[in-house]
Amino acid sequence: MGRSSKDKRDIYYRLAKEEGWRARSAFKLLQLDHQFNLFSGVNRAVDLCAAPGSWSQALSRKLRGGEEEVKIVAVDLQAMAPLPGVTQIQGDITKVSTAQEIIRHFEGQPANLVVCDGAPDVTGLHDVDEYIQAQLLLAALNITTHILTPGGTFVAKIFRGKDVTLLYSQLKIFFSSVTCAKPRSSRNSSIESFVVCQNYSPPEGYIPNMSNPLLDQSYAPGMTSVISADVDFNQLEGSNRVIVPFLACGDLSAFDSDRTYPLQLDAGKEYEYIPPTQPPIRPPYEQACHFRKHNLLSREDAPPISPIHSQEEREP
């Protein structure tokens, strides 16, 4: 089979296929674990925004196999191929019904680790993308406050945009340690980073609330808020202003995701194409590709959007 240009471009994409990970993102979580020892003592974990599932795979591989019973719950808008020991929920984490379903799994037995690699479909409009990303993070944090055991850890993707100080302040209310980390496998060219929030310690008397009080009300036009709409959140002052440490994870021995490496790292070995471990089973781009192939995108009389074909229908 021919060379894949992506293989050539990205060392972590290639490594993920060689090691059997569903996505290159697996290395981000593994490198964060290497730095922060995230998995130590963890036996109940939640992976929010999990598809295609490489973080769940990492959790499944790293947490299972010991004596202790392990529970891993993975949630995503998209369907995901099954993984050993992982319970899947298909749903939107910003919806109360999904949040309640997740919470039910941990009633009486809270989780000790919640991870969220959630990202919206990027529009290219930075303010919009950052806003939606922040909403995902707040939804994840709200779910976390319902299910995380005191002392537990929350890890989430953030876009380090102009309102990031407000996010840090909100996270610091719930965790004694908040660090912003950039694993080597996350490209420098991307504004993505990860907040690693350790030692969950909610304020005394805090009662988790599904109405999502963490959302910044002043974004909504016409809303009266305790915070004035004129406040520039990055200008928070005094004890309201939180500076969190920024850590470039790992030493220089890990591959640099922005560098181009030779296709075959093992000198003397023939290049061999490796297919993806688990392609997305119902990707949202599938219908757009179908429309474009059949020249239906620009036609006014194009058929209404139909349900996306199931895996069985698509595969020969």
Q: Choose between 57 and 145: whose C-beta lies nearer to ligand SAM.
A: 57
Sites for ligand SAM among residues 285-314 (CB under 6 A): none
49 is a site residue for ligand SAM (CB under 6 A): yes
Residue 173 near ligand SAM by CB under 6 A: no
Tell how far CA 13 is from the center of its chain: 17
HSE at residue 197, side-chain half, CA atoms within 13 A, is 32
Tell which residue, 112, 244, 134, has the closest CA to residue 178. Answer: 244
Instruction: Please confirm whether the linkage preceding 284 is cis (ω < 30° from 0).
Output: no
DSSP letters along 48-99, please? ES-TT-HHHHHHHHHHTTSSS--EEEEEESS-----TTEEEEES-TTSHHHH
Choice from 10, 76, 163, 216 touching ligand SAM (CB under 6 A): 76
* Structural contact between residues 6 and 273, judged by C-beta atoms closer than 8 angstroms: no
**Residue type (1 letter), 33:** D
Q: Contacting ligand SAM (CB under 6 A), which of 12, 39, 55, 200?
A: 55
Number of amino acids touching ligand SAM (CB under 6 A): 22
Q: One of 157, 162, 269, 293 is an active-site residue; which one?
A: 157
CB of 23 to ligand SAM, least distance (A): 4
Please confirm, yes or no, whether 157 is among the known catalytic residues.
Answer: yes
Pick the piece of the chain touching ligand SAM (CB under 6 A) from 38-46, 52-60, 165-173, 240-248: 52-60
Mark 240-259 with x for binding to ligand SAM (rule: CB under 6 A) and - for no binding: --------------------
CB 24, min distance to ligand SAM, A: 8
Stretch that binds ligand SAM, among 11-19, 87-95, 203-211, 219-227 (CB under 6 A): 87-95
For residues 92 and 98, the answer to whether their CB atoms sit within 8 Å is yes
Residues 213-232 that bind ligand SAM (CB under 6 A): none
Q: Which residue number, 88 or 165, has a Cβ lying nearer to ligand SAM? A: 88
Q: How far apart are CA 26 and CA 16, in angstroms?
A: 8
Cα separation, 87 vs 264, whole angstroms = 36
Q: Which of residues 4-43 bind ligand SAM (CB under 6 A)?
A: 22-23, 25-26
- Can you tell me the distance from the alpha carbon of 145 to that of 212, in angstroms, rounded to the nearest whole number? 10
Nearer Cβ to ligand SAM, position 82 or 245? Answer: 82
Is-contact 131 162, C-beta < 8 A? no
Applying CB under 6 A, the residues found at the interface with ligand SAM are 22-23, 25-26, 49-55, 76-78, 92-94, 117-120, 136
Active site residues: 157
